[in-house]
Amino acid sequence: MKITQGWLSASTQLVSPNTDQRPDEADISLLVVHSISLPPEQFGGPYVGQLFSNCLDPNQHPYFADIAHLKVSSHLLIDRLGNITQFVPFDQRAWHAGVSEFEGRDSCNDFSIGIEMEGADNIAYTDAQYDMLTAVTQVLLEAYPLITRERIVGHMDIAPGRKTDPGPAFDWARYKSALN
């Protein structure tokens, strides 16, 4: 697995329009782990890709009526089987963190990479997801040396009170101990 021109070789590409230039491409220094499932607590299907591509049908599910208008994206999605979809190249800013702050700096999208895990706060993640997240993280740590183990956080860490993902079901100890 390698990164070429911002794209991860092991990923399926589904380009999101919800991206723009980073203020400083050399300042990629934070990795943010998220979770997402559409509809909530349901897995599989095209809905996350549709949301990140601005083509989610608000009539497809009642929950979608409240979110179909959002302009959001993430760099990567790791599904329940461990498959990776990349929406935004790493050298560009994805719109995943929203109002956020880390170590006194706000606007975390400016300097972070966002990885969505297909999941929900209180549903265990799969072995395949942990294995792939670990492999991807190793590649990112090598490619972006400003990201350190201490600079790998959850969405809840940079948007406390507003976000709870990846939630208590995410095994941080397992993930961090698997990193070399």
Catalytic residue positions, numbered: 116
Strand pairing class (101-102; 19-21): unpaired
Q: Please say whether the dihedral angle defined by the alpha carbons of residues 164, 43, 53 and 171, taken in this order, is positive or negative.
A: positive
Collapsing DSSP states into helix, strand and coil, what is residue 126?
coil
Structural contact between residues 6 and 93, judged by C-beta atoms closer than 8 angstroms? no
Helices (H), the chain: 47-52, 64-67, 127-143, 155-158, 172-178
> What phi and psi values does residue 109 have, to the nearest 5 degrees?
-55, -30
**Residues present in the chain in total:** 180
For residue 63, CA distances in Å to 37, 99, 179 come to: 11, 22, 36
